[in-house]
Amino acid sequence: MKKAILLFTFLLFSLQIVAQSKKEIIETLKIRIDSLHSEIKNRDINFEKAQALANSNKDALQLTISKLEQDIAFLKGQLDVTQKTNDKLVENNTQLTIRVAELKDSISTLQQNIEAQEAQPIYSDFDRKVIAAFEKIKNDESTNNMFDNISVERDIIKDSYNQICEDGCVSFVLTDQILVLSYSAGVAFMGTHIIDLNTGRELMDGKNSYVYVTDYNEERGLLKIQTSGIDSKGRYIKEGTYNLRTRTSQLIKKEY
């Protein structure tokens, strides 16, 4: 009987221990479940915060990307404008380079012309008249090239008599109004041209031009002239004068 009571007591105690152990386990599990719920809730909160932050960052990034895209579009537009401007500048530079080359050529040509003009003597109106009269007589076939080696600047001196003799003789007298060119190559060939510088007209007529000027008296305005020829008595010489003021000539009798 006692054994039965003891056994029942032991079983009852064991059941009580088991019941307490399950209760403690249940309580412990509840605590752990609450802890897990709390952790899950905290994680949900943190996830929502992280997601909100991510969304905010995403929006910021999208805004930045949109701004960058606008900047890129603007920069592309500026680049296009700059490229067009650069192309225009290159074209202008090419045109300017060509223009500079043309101007350099023009300047070079102008400098050459200036140098050529400076190298040429500067003639007065009087000088040009003298040169024109001289060239007229020089190119006259009747003078037989007697004046080819003569220079107006070197050989023709104003208000004086000058004579040059080589294969014949030529003489010159120049006044303010008249140029006298005379030549002689022996009895058969001589002549004198007297040119009015103002009109360019020949003053010595053909029948009186077969003379040679041998001297000049500036004070009296007289040319000393001579002519020669051959007649039945032989060779003769006639001397005389030509008055530049009255434009008349006078020859004395023949001398043999």
- pLDDT tens digits for range 52-70: 888 888 888 888 898 998 9
C-alpha distances in angstroms, 194 versus 32, 73, 151, 176, 246? 150, 93, 18, 13, 13
Q: Which of 120, 152, 174 is the last residue of a domain?
A: 120
Edge-to-edge order in the sheet of strand 234-243: 212-217, 222-231, 234-243, 248-251
Q: Are 222 and 241 in contact (CB under 8 A)?
A: yes
Residue 131 pLDDT grade (very low, low, confident, very high; cuts 50, 70, 90): very high
- Written as six digits, the tokens of 13 are 């105690």
Q: Which positions ≥6 away from 100 have C-beta within 8 Å?
A: none
pLDDT at 4 exceeding the cut of 70: no
Residue 14 pLDDT grade (very low, low, confident, very high; cuts 50, 70, 90): low
In a domain, 256, yes or no: no
Share of the chain above pLDDT 70, in %: 89
Q: What pLDDT score was predicted for residue 54?
A: 83
**How many CB atoms are closer than 10 A to CB 178?**
19
What is the C-alpha to C-alpha distance for residues 82 and 75, in angstroms, rounded to an integer?
Answer: 10
Does residue 142 share a domain with residue 88? Answer: no
Q: What pLDDT score was predicted for residue 16?
A: 59
Q: What is the mean pLDDT of residues 2-25?
A: 61
Q: Are 194 and 178 in contact (CB under 8 A)?
A: yes
Measured at the CA of 131, the angle between CA 129 and CA 137, to 5 degrees, comes to 105
- Please give the tally of structural domains in the chain: 2
Does residue 240 share a domain with residue 139? Answer: yes
What does pTM read for this prediction? 0.53
Reported as a single tens digit per residue, the pLDDT across 230-242 is 888 888 888 999 9
Reported as a single tens digit per residue, the pLDDT across 98-117 is 999 999 888 988 888 888 77
Does residue 214 share a domain with residue 106? Answer: no
Q: Are 156 and 177 in contact (CB under 8 A)?
A: no
pLDDT at 252 exceeding the cut of 60: yes
Q: What pLDDT score was predicted for residue 6?
A: 57
Q: Which of 88, 103, 120 is the last residue of a domain?
A: 120
Tell me the residue range of the domain where 66 lies: 1-120
Q: What is the mean pLDDT of residues 243-252?
A: 86
Q: Which of 120, 145, 168 is the last residue of a domain?
A: 120
Q: What pLDDT score was predicted for residue 189?
A: 86
